[in-house]
Structure 1
Amino acid sequence: MFQDITIEELLLLQQKNEITLIDVRSPSEFRDATIPGSLNIPVFDDAERAEIGTLYKQVSSQSAKDRGLEVMSAKLPDFVRKFGEIEGGKAVFCWRGGMRSRTTATVLSLMDIQVYRLTGGVRAYRKWVVESLENCHFEPEAIVIQGHTGTGKTAILKRLQEEGYPVMDLEGMANHRGSIFGDIGLHSHNQKTFDALLLQSINKLQNAPYVLIEEESKRIGKVVLPSFLVSKKEQGVVITIDMQMRERVKQIITDYEPLKHKAECLQAFQMMKGRIHIPIAKEIESAMQADEYNTAVQLLLENYYDPRYDHAFQQYKSNDTIGISANDVEEAVSYIKKYLEHRELSHT
C-alpha cells in the first residue's frame, strides 16, 4: 500500500535527490502552478477533466466517478508504463491530495510500483510557500547589478551563476524581462510559480555570504517581489555598469530577436509611444515597420529608457556604489569577479 508524506518529508527527500515528484493533474493545471522540478503524468487531460467536472456539478458525484473510471481504465496500461519507466523513489500529488492522487497511488501499488502520496497536494504546498516567505529572514548581503537598459545585466548574472557564484535570477523566476517588451517570446509566470521558485532559491542561497541580484522594480511582469527582498536590495552594495550605446543595442536585439516577433514588438510599442515626443515616436515606429531595429532600439534608449533610468537612479542611489565601465558582457563579468575576489580577501 502507498504511504502518505507531509510537505516537510517530501522536501527532505527532494533535497537528497531521492525522489521524483509527479503531478497527476491536467496539463493546464500543471502549467498554472506546480511544485518546482515536478513531472506531469495526468490522470485526465483538460477535456476529460472538464467533462467529469460538468457531470459532478450537473448530474451527480456517482456519474462523475463512473465516467472517471471509464476514462482511466482505457488509458491505464500507458499510464502505469510511464510510472514504471521512472527510476528511484516517486511521490504523486494533485490539488488537495484527493481522488486523483489516491487513485493513482492505489493502482500503482497494485502493480507493484511503490509511490508516496503528498498529503494536502498543491494546495498544502502553496500554503507552505506563502507562510515561509512571510516569515523569511534572508541573511546574505545583496550585491545589486544595475545599469541602463541593454547593458546585459541578466547575461552577466547568468555567466556568474554558471561559474558558481551565488546569483538570484528574479527575471528568470518571473520568466519576464521586466519591461513593456519583457514577455515577448516568453510565457510569463504567475505569482504562485514565482513564489515557489523564489523560495527554492532563498533556501539554496541562505548560507551564502552575499547574493548577486539584478536591480528590479517591485513588479516584474505579472509578479510582485516580497517587501523583505525589496528592502534587502535597497540596503545592498550597488554595482553600476556603464556600456557603450552600440553594444547595448546589439545586446537588446540578441535578447529580444525583434525580427522573429515583429507584431508583438509593434504592439508593445503602442503602450509607450504616448510618453515619447511625437516626432521621435513616429521615427521609431517607422524604423520598426522597416525592420531597421538598430535605429529603433537606439532611439528608444535615448528618448525613453535612459531618461527613466537616470531619474530612478537618482532616487535609488546608494552610498555604497561601485562604477564599472565595460566594452561588453565579458569584460563586465571580469570586473565583477575581480571585485568579488577583492571583497573576499578584505573579509578574511
Structure 2
Amino acid sequence: MFTNITVTELIPLIEKKQMTLIDVRSPIEFENFSIPTSINIPFFTNEERAEIGTIYNQVSETAARDRGLEIISAKLPDFIKKFKAINGEKTVFCWRGGMRSRTTATLLDLMNIHVHRLDGGIRAYRKWVIEQLEIIQLPPVAYVLSGLTGTGKTKILQTLQKEGYPVIDLEGMANHKGSIFGHIGQRPNNQKTFDALLVHRLREIQHAPFIMFESESSRVGKVTLPHFLLDLKGKSNFLMIELPIEERINEILEEYRPWDNQSECLAAFLKIKSRIHTPVANQIEQDLKSENYKQAVRLLLEYYYDKRYKQIEPQYPDSEKIIIHVKNIDEAIQVVKHVIPRKGSDQIIL
C-alpha cells in the first residue's frame, strides 16, 4: 500500500537528495510551476485533461471519471514502465493530492512499486514556500556586487557559488538577465518558481556568516524580490566592479549572442528606442539590422545603460563601497575572493 507523506516530512528528503519527485499533472501544469528537481510523468496529456474537464463541467463527475479511466487504461503499460525505471524512494503528487496522484499510487502498488503520495499536493508545497519566506533567517552580513552593465557580475557570482561561497543567484532563479534584453535565449520563471528556488537556496546557506548577491531593482524579469532582500541590500557592503568598456562589450556579446537572436534583440531595443536621443537610436537600430553588433552595444552602453545606472544606483556612503577596478572578469573574481572573508576563522565553504 502506498504511504502519504506531508510537506514537512518531504522537505528534508528533498534537500538531502534522498527522494525522487514525480509530478503526475499535465505538461502545461508542470511547465507553469512544479517542485524544483521534480520530473513529469503526466497522468493525462494537456488535451486529455481539457477533454475530461469539459465532460466534468458539461455532463457529470461520473462521466468524467469514466472517460479518465478509459484514457489511462489504454496507456497503462507505458505509464507503469516509466516508474519502474526510477530507482530509490519516490513521491508522486498532483495539484491537491487528489485523484491523479491517488490513482497513480494505487496502480503502482498493484504492480508492486512502492511510492509515497504528497498529502495536499503541490498546493501544500506552495503554502510551505510562502510560510518559509516569512520566517526564514538570513545571515547578518551581505556583500552585494554592483557595477555598470557588462561587468560580469553574474559570472563572478556563479563562479564563486561553484566554489562553495554562499551566493544567491537572483538572475539564475528568475531565469532572466535583468534588462530589457534579459529574456533573450531564456524562458523566464514565474513568481512561484522563483520563490521556491530562493527558499531552498536560503535554507541551504542560512548558517553561513554572510551571503552574496547582485544589486538588482525590485523586479527581475517576471518576478518581484522579497522585501527582506531589498532591506538587507540597503545595509550591505557594496563591491563595485569596474571594467574597461571593451571588456564589457565583449562580455555582453558573449552572453547575449545577438547573431543567434537578431530578431529578439531588435524587438527588445524598439521598446526602449524612444528613450534614446533620436540620431543615436536610429544608428543603434541600423547597427542591429546590419549585424554591426559591437558598435550597437557600445552605443547602448554609452547613451542608455551607463546613464541609467548612474541615475538609479543608490548613493551609499563611501565607507560601504569597495571599488574593484580590474582589467577583466577573471581578475575581478580573484579580487572579490581576496576582499570577502575566506578560510580559517572565516571559513565559508558549505
Superposed pair shares fold, TM > 0.5? yes
Shift of 1:328: 1.1
CA contact (8 A) 1:149 1:248 kept: yes
Q: Deviations over 1:231-279 (max 9, x none)?
A: 1111111000000000000000111110111111111111111110101
Deviation at 1:338, TM superposition (A): 1.0
Identity across matched positions, percent: 53
- Partner of residue 307, structure 1: 307
Flag structure 2 segments of 5+ consecutive residues without an equivalent: none
Residue 144 of structure 1 aligns with which residue? 144
1:342 deviates by 6.5
Report if aligned partners of 2:136, 2:203 keep a CA contact under 8 Å in 1.
no
Distance in 2 separating the partners of 1:133 and 1:219 = 17
1:233 and 1:343 mapped to 2: Cα distance?
24
Aligned equivalent of 2:190? 190
- Whole-angstrom distance in 1 between the partners of 2:239 and 2:195: 26
* Partner residue in 2 for 1:241: 241
TM-score scaled by structure 1? 0.97
Residues 137 and 94 of structure 1: is their aligned pair in 2 closer, same or farther, counting only changes over 3 Å? Answer: same
Compared CA separation, residues 223 and 96, structure 1 to 2 (3 A): same
Q: Distance in 2 between matches of 1:347 and 1:37?
A: 29
Q: 1:21 touches 1:38 (CA, 8 Å); kept in 2?
A: yes
Q: Which residue identity does 1:269 align to in structure 2?
A: F
- The one-character-per-residue Cα deviations of 1:209-248 (angstroms, maximum 9, x if unpaired) are 1111011001001100010111111111100000000000
Indicate the residue corresponding to 2:257 in structure 1: 257
- CA 107–342 in structure 1, closer or farther in 2 if over 3 Å, else same: closer
* SS of corresponding position for 1:260: coil
* Partner amino acid, structure 2, of 1:151: T
Partner-residue secondary structure (3-state), 1:113? coil
Residues 188 and 222, structure 1, Cα contact 8 Å, conserved in 2: yes
Aligned to 1:24: 24
Give the equivalent residue in structure 2 for 1:102.
102
**8 A Cα contact 1:237 1:318, kept in partner:** no
Cα pair distance change 1:326/1:343, threshold 3 Å: farther
Answer yes or no: is the 8 Å Cα contact 1:140–1:207 preserved in 2.
no
What are the residue-to-residue correspondences of 1:109-128 with 2, within 5 Å? 109-128=109-128
Displacement of 1:43 after TM fit? 0.3
RMSD of the alignment, in Å? 1.6
Q: Cα gap change, 1:111/1:151 in structure 2, threshold over 3 Å: closer, same or farther?
A: same
Distance 2:228 2:342 in 1: 28
Whether the 8 Å CA contact 1:238–1:318 is kept in 2: the answer is no
TM-score, with length taken from structure 2: 0.96
The alpha-carbon deviation at position 18 of structure 1 amounts to 2.1
Give structure 1 stretches of 5+ with no counterpart. none
- Letter paired with 1:232: L
CA shift for structure 1 position 317 = 5.7
Alpha-carbon distance in 2 for matches of 1:276, 1:223: 26
Q: Deviations over 1:91-138 (max 9, x none)?
A: 000000000000000000110000000000011111111121022331
Counterparts of 1:295 and 1:263, CA distance in 2 = 17
In the alignment, the residues of structure 1 paired with residue 283 and residue 143 of structure 2 have an alpha-carbon distance, to the nearest angstrom, of 38
